[in-house]
């Protein structure tokens, strides 16, 4: 019928092998070497997370051979089965060169963004067990270090949308609305909305942009007065809206805490 039908969904490339438990001759990330490397001392900073706090991961890489060599240490994360995502995804890597018998401790960070997946309405997180793998290729045989942590509650589906006029006139102000959509299962705290425009444009908030609490099935909306430069030439530009959760949204007593973030954008025409 002249149409190409794709049935693999998100299981593209090596993800398909992983999901089907098929071992390819060369897994993703595989590399040859004249020496051997060993992995040990895996440490994960938390066993329970709240969906907005980063996870610190460290491991020791040792050159167990007789000659100097280079290896690429890789960190993979497996999301809960309920997410419907592939078994593992690469979230960090570091190249190390070691002399015979030398070892080095490598450090990774799993940010909240790595725990997201795209749902029907936007980026979302899934409560459950997250699995951590460290090694030098994507196959399970090449990932000797394994650990896990649990997310008891997830922020849920929240999406940022930007509503703006389709056309902006040079030097003329227009109102743009940024919204953090309803949905999700948890109350968001200290959510703040912002808008970013190209260089030369001015963006001024109109009213409050922060709310102490955003309950499930509620929404946070902010307006911004946006003025393009008077000398602007006809072109398409993108306005980016962002929703941030401050450090106060993290679990009480958390250290090294960063806020979760959702973002979205809209393309508009700058013209006469």
The pLDDT tens digits of the residues spanning 32-80 come to 999 999 999 999 999 998 777 789 999 999 999 999 999 999 999 999 9
Q: Give pLDDT, residue 258.
A: 39
Q: State pTM to two decimals.
A: 0.71
pLDDT digits (tens, 9 = 90+) for 208-229: 887 767 777 778 889 999 999 9
CA distance 173 to 175: 7
**pLDDT value of residue 252:** 37
At residue 211, the pLDDT reads 73
Domains belonging to the chain, first-starting first, are 14-151 (2.60.40.10), 160-270 (2.60.40.10)
Instruction: List Cβ neighbours of 132 (8 Å cut-off, separation of 6 or more).
Output: 42, 44, 55, 57, 75, 76, 77, 78, 110, 146, 147, 148, 149
Could you give the dihedral angle defined by the CA atoms of residues 6, 7, 10 and 12, in that order, rounded to the nearest 10 degrees?
-70
pLDDT for res 243: 84
| Residues in the chain where the model's pLDDT stays below 70 | 121-122, 155-156, 182-186, 212, 245-262
């Amino acid at each position: 019928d002249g149409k190409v039908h794709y049935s693999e969904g998100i299981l593209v490339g090596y993800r398909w092998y992983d999901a089907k438990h098929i071992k390819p001759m060369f897994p993703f990330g595989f590399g040859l070497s004249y020496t051997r490397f060993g992995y040990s001392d895996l440490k994960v900073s938390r066993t329970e997370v709240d969906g907005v706090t980063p996870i610190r991961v460290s491991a020791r890489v040792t050159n167990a051979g007789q000659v100097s060599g280079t290896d690429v240490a890789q960190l993979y994360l497996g999301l809960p089965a309920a997410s419907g995502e592939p078994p593992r995804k690469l979230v960090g890597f570091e190249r190390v060169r070691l002399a015979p018998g030398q070892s080095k401790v490598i450090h990774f960070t799993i940010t909240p963004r790595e725990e997201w997946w795209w749902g029907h309405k936007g980026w979302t997180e899934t409560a459950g067990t997250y699995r951590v793998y460290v090694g030098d290729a994507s196959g399970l045989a090449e990932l000797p270090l394994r650990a896990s942590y649990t997310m008891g509650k997830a922020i849920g589906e929240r999406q940022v949308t930007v509503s703006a006029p389709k056309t902006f006139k040079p030097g003329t102000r227009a109102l743009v609305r940024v919204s953090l959509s309803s949905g999700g299962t948890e109350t968001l705290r200290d959510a703040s909305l912002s808008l970013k425009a190209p260089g030369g444009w001015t963006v001024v908030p109109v009213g409050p942009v922060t709310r102490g609490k955003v309950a499930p099935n509620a929404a946070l909306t902010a307006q911004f007065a946006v003025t393009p430069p008077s000398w602007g030439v006809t072109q398409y530009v993108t306005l980016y809206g962002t929703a941030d959760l401050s450090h106060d949204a993290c679990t009480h007593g958390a250290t090294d805490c960063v806020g979760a973030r959702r973002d979205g954008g809209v393309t508009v025409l700058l013209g006469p």
